[in-house]
Structure 1
Amino acid sequence: MKKIHLFSLILVILLLSACQSSEQLKPIKEETIDFDINTAIEMVEKKEKMIIDLALREKVSKLEYKELEKSFTEEFGGHAKEILSILFIHNLDSDPESDMYVQQNTLYPTLFHEGITITNAVVYKSYFENEFFNQTRLSIEEKYVGDDEKLKDWKREYIFTPNKNGEWELNGFSGVMNFLGEDYNMNYLELKR
């Protein structure tokens, strides 16, 4: 019985201290800095080139898949498995050594497709009294600007943060990653020439 009371007391203290600390974590200064749009395009193209090259294939061998996992992990970090799961059919009943088939009924819009463009690239900086909490992130927004009604409001945001060397590293995404279904494939939108 004492353990329950002790646990409850600790829980209440943690909740109260969390409420109090959120009051203190307001930035003392915030900055928004335009990021070079051409550099942003290069950063996104490098990632999406890997995706489009893979998505236009029918299948890959198990060995090729292992190599893809490595190269995607280098480029996408912790998001590599998420991207690969979008692009491949995962058949649990298949032989573990059999080829991996690329998902044909998916559209992962890329800058290499007509109507897809980078519309915004901005660095956001937040400064706090305690420098430990300072944050810097780069937001690159990609949108569909064409006439297709199904894609009319589509957009995706790539979020980057600086690593220890000061280089931009992919930290996450927001928006719609891909479209799945019989109506979609990687050629749903024409590729740019």
Structure 2
Amino acid sequence: MKKSYLFLLILVILFLSACQSSEQLKPIKEETIDFNINTAIEMVEKKEKMIIDLALREKVSKLEYKELEKSFTEEFGVHAKDILSILFIHNMDSDPESDMYVQQNTLYPTVFHKGITITNAVIYKSYFENEFFNQTRLSIEEKYVGDDEKLKDWKREYIFTPKKNGEWELNGFSGVMNFLGEDYNMNYLELKR
């Protein structure tokens, strides 16, 4: 009986301490700062230029793929493998030294496609009592503003965090990354001139 009371007491203490810690994690101040939209466009264009250049190809050699892995890792960090997995057909039965084929039935919307535009760029800052928890992130939102019903309401958000040198590092995405299927390809939307 004493063990069950002791267990219950420990459980109550843990519950109360968890409630207290969630109160401590509420920011004491939050700030929203408009980010230069032209700089945001340049940041996204740099990343998406790599994607569109690759997606418009039919295949790459194994050596080219290794180089692509390096350059995509420099630009996309830990998300490089995710992007490459969207763009390539991974055939487990093929010869390891054979060419890698680019996925033809996918649309990865980019700012280089008509109807795709950067609509918002904002820095969010949260300040906490304990400075260790302070956060800064840059959100760049990209949307489809055209008339195609299949792409209506499409949007993607790039989330960046500051590096120590003052530059921004890609931290993640939200929204729909790509469209897959027989109806889609990288020319589904016309490219801007």
Fold conserved between structures, TM > 0.5? yes
Per-residue CA deviations over 1:36-87 (Å, capped at 9, x if unaligned) read 0000000000000000000000000111101000000000000000000000
| Counterparts of 1:134 and 1:54, CA distance in 2 | 38
| Counterparts of 2:39 and 2:177, CA distance in 1 | 22
Cα distance change, pair 61–32 in 1 and its aligned pair in 2 (3 A): same
| Counterparts of 1:45 and 1:85, CA distance in 2 | 20
Per-residue CA deviations over 1:101-131 (Å, capped at 9, x if unaligned) read 0000000000000000000000000011111
| Counterparts of 1:189 and 1:119, CA distance in 2 | 18
Cα distance change, pair 191–6 in 1 and its aligned pair in 2 (3 A): farther
| Counterparts of 1:150 and 1:44, CA distance in 2 | 23
Cα distance change, pair 12–55 in 1 and its aligned pair in 2 (3 A): farther
Per-residue CA deviations over 1:145-174 (Å, capped at 9, x if unaligned) read 000000011000000000121210000000
Cα distance change, pair 2–73 in 1 and its aligned pair in 2 (3 A): farther
> How much identity, in percent, do the aligned residues show?
94
Cα distance change, pair 12–181 in 1 and its aligned pair in 2 (3 A): farther
Pairwise CA distance, 1:15: 5.6
Residue aligning to 1:184: 184
The normalised TM-score by structure 1 is 0.93
Q: Which moved more, 1:178-187 or 1:7-16?
A: 7-16
Q: Which moved more, 1:16-25 or 1:152-161?
A: 16-25
Pairwise CA distance, 1:12: 7.5
Cα distance change, pair 55–28 in 1 and its aligned pair in 2 (3 A): same
Cα distance change, pair 29–96 in 1 and its aligned pair in 2 (3 A): same
Structure 1: stretches of 5+ with no match in the other structure: none
Pairwise CA distance, 1:4: 13
Secondary structure of 1:98's aligned partner: coil
Cα distance change, pair 192–163 in 1 and its aligned pair in 2 (3 A): same
Pairwise CA distance, 1:23: 1.3
Q: Which moved more, 1:15-24 or 1:29-38?
A: 15-24
The normalised TM-score by structure 2 is 0.93
Residue aligning to 1:124: 124
Cα distance change, pair 42–7 in 1 and its aligned pair in 2 (3 A): farther
Secondary structure of 1:91's aligned partner: coil
Structure 2: stretches of 5+ with no match in the other structure: none
Does 1:49 pair with 2:49?
yes
In the alignment of these two chains, the number of paired residues is 193
Pairwise CA distance, 1:18: 3.4
